[in-house]
Amino acid sequence: MKAKTEKRFTKKEWSWIMYDWANSIYATNIMAAIFPTIFVSIAGDAGDIWWGYGTSIATFLVALLAPLLGAVADFKGMKKKLFTIFMLVGVVFTFLIAFVMNSWQWMLVGYIISRIGFNGANLFYDSFLTDVTTDERMDKVSSWGYAMGYIGGSTIPFVISIAMLLILGYSSPVAQKFSILITSVWWLVFSIPFLRNVEQEHYIERTRETSIGTILRNIGHTAREIFMQRGLFLFVLAYFFYIDGVGTIISISTAYGTVLGLGTVGMILALLVTQIVAMPCSILFANLAAKITARKALILAIITYTLICVVGFYMGFSLEPHQAAYEDVARDYTASVMESAPEDATQLAAYEDLGAALEKAVREDKADTLDGIAEDERYAVLSQAQRESVLTAARQLNAQHRGEIENLQRAVSFSTILFWAMAIMVGTVQGGIQAVSRSYFGKLIPKDRSNEFFGFFDIFGKFASVLGPFLYSLIGTWTGRSSFGVLALIALFLVGLVIMIAGKKDLEALDRA
């Protein structure tokens, strides 16, 4: 009977797990899928630049303050208070974004502050793992957190938000506000179990001598302790490299697919499949870690990500030559269209737009839609002769370059299949590698100073998202092919893999300590 009880999650464990269910909607709706596109559409051409600045500011501030916040939170009674403050800041400012959507500047301010709340609360949430469970159950509890996040916050409210946008229209203010408001309400409501049932079990007693100087000395001591313990330092170093690769793949996947000309709807569906696959695989990964050790499970995940990079490289490498061949003939088409361009500014804008729309239809092998596109009311400003001029050029493009078009379409179809394969592969290890990394670190550190140590862990995780995107962009620019940028990411996983393998003795010794 006792063994059966031990297999079940305690109320504290379930409450901790449910916070991942609560806050994952923010990562999906606000950080990744919906709000960025809304913001860019309102902010205009420089929207993506301002979005990048806002994200960098929020991430940098939390990463910079993480050790200090962690050191303060380790004192008795402080962790829960700081978690609650940051969580409420995130919820409230997410809610307020919905009421300032007439100003992209205020939307950006709301996003930055809500992102600080989200990241800050996660710092304390991660460190609470040592308070709610034992070392033996840590892998399982951590993995179930990610699993519930994927299937709950990252799927259910996300699908509801997408449905509202599809029904009312993506530009509908009501649908856009709904996708933001459901985020804050979902986040707050499902945080209640955590607020009610999770408490700080491990802490440092506060004394009269406790001061800012004491806190800063504790931070310095923690930093020295990480660097002095060879096994702990090796793991954090390996984590820095391989988690950078993981984060980069998450952040560039849709951009990479868009550059390759893959369908937006198909990519969104593939990423949704990633979320669904990640749920059971996160749990299975925890069971695997229990059987073969966390270190070996992480090694397996790193190898899988290396293979994902290889597939991603070939996905682009096989498609890019056909893209280049078609782009050459498309440039000739554009040049021929512009020979008959009208001088009137209004007509010229409609003329260019029609030419681009017809070329897109030809490129996607939808030549049967050319006449319908040309008759669209958006081009009513153009004369019949002007429309016919562009139509003739599009028909010639389709007839004279069937070989390039068919080759491109076959390559796109093949790359789309590879993108789906990548999405499934990522789903099998994405949640597992993050969950087991979190729990593995939690087992290696002193429990009464978990927040302080997780503060440094958070620094490595946040600043790790710099090297991968830089490598991808640098190599892609240097070679002129994005696929080689993806190939360069293998270096990050290989460095992490070598450290995890070469440090076997020190890592296993620390794990047993």
Percent of the chain with pLDDT over 90: 27
Between CA 454 and CA 142 the distance in angstroms is 14
pLDDT band at 317 (very low <50, low <70, confident <90, very high): very high
Percent of the chain with pLDDT over 70: 87
pLDDT band at 1 (very low <50, low <70, confident <90, very high): very low
200 within 8 A of 79, measured Cβ to Cβ: yes
CA atoms within 13 A on the CB side of 478: 10
Look at residue 279 in the predicted model and tell me its pLDDT. Answer: 81
Look at residue 14 in the predicted model and tell me its pLDDT. Answer: 93
pLDDT band at 6 (very low <50, low <70, confident <90, very high): low
473 within 8 A of 405, measured Cβ to Cβ: no
Between CA 289 and CA 213 the distance in angstroms is 40
pLDDT band at 511 (very low <50, low <70, confident <90, very high): low
Q: At what angle do helices 230-259 and 467-479 cross, to 10 degrees?
A: 40
Average pLDDT over residues 419-445: 86
| Token reading at 10 | 């305690």
pLDDT band at 300 (very low <50, low <70, confident <90, very high): very high
| Token reading at 98 | 């919905």
Average pLDDT over residues 206-212: 54
Bigger pLDDT: 266 or 401? Answer: 401
450 within 8 A of 303, measured Cβ to Cβ: no
Assess whether pLDDT exceeds 50 at residue 4: no
Assess whether pLDDT exceeds 80 at residue 214: no
Average pLDDT over residues 180-190: 95
CA nearest to 262, candidates 399, 365, 414, 403: 414
Assess whether pLDDT exceeds 70 at residue 153: no
CA atoms within 13 A on the CB side of 257: 26
Assess whether pLDDT exceeds 70 at residue 417: yes
Q: Give the CATH class of 12-319+419-512.
A: mainly alpha
First to last CA, the chain: 30
Report for 85-94, 145-154, 381-390: range of highest mean pLDDT = 85-94
Bigger pLDDT: 362 or 247? Answer: 362
Helix (H, G, I), strand (E, B) or coil at 75: strand
Output the average pLDDT for the chain.
83
Q: Return the residue matching tokens 């033996």.
A: 136
Assess whether pLDDT exceeds 90 at residue 460: no
Bigger pLDDT: 33 or 440? Answer: 440
- Other CB atoms within a 10 A radius of the CB of residue 496 amount to 27
Helix (H, G, I), strand (E, B) or coil at 437: helix
Q: How many whole angstroms from its chain centre is CA 152?
A: 16
Assess whether pLDDT exceeds 50 at residue 499: yes
Assess whether pLDDT exceeds 70 at residue 198: yes
Q: What does the pLDDT look like over 437-451, one tens digit per residue?
A: 888 888 777 766 666
Look at residue 5 in the predicted model and tell me its pLDDT. Answer: 40
- Number of H helices and E strands in the chain, helices first, is 25, 0
3-state secondary structure 134-202: CHHHHHHHHHHHHHHHHHHHCCHHHHHHHHHHHHHCCCCHHHHHHHHHHHHHHHHHCCHHHHHHCCCCC
| Token reading at 356 | 């681009």
The residues spanned by each domain of the chain are: 12-319+419-512, 323-406
Q: What does the pLDDT look like over 58-67, one tens digit per residue?
A: 877 887 787 7
DSSP string of 383-407?
-HHHHHHHHHHHHHHHHHTHHHHHH
Look at residue 93 in the predicted model and tell me its pLDDT. Answer: 97
Please give the biggest Cα pair distance in the chain. Answer: 87
Look at residue 467 in the predicted model and tell me its pLDDT. Answer: 74
Angle at 17 between CA 15 and CA 23, to 5 degrees: 100
229 within 8 A of 477, measured Cβ to Cβ: no
Look at residue 203 in the predicted model and tell me its pLDDT. Answer: 64
- Other CB atoms within a 10 A radius of the CB of residue 39 amount to 21
Q: What does the pLDDT look like over 354-412, one tens digit per residue?
A: 998 999 899 888 888 999 998 888 888 898 999 999 899 999 999 989 898 889 889 98
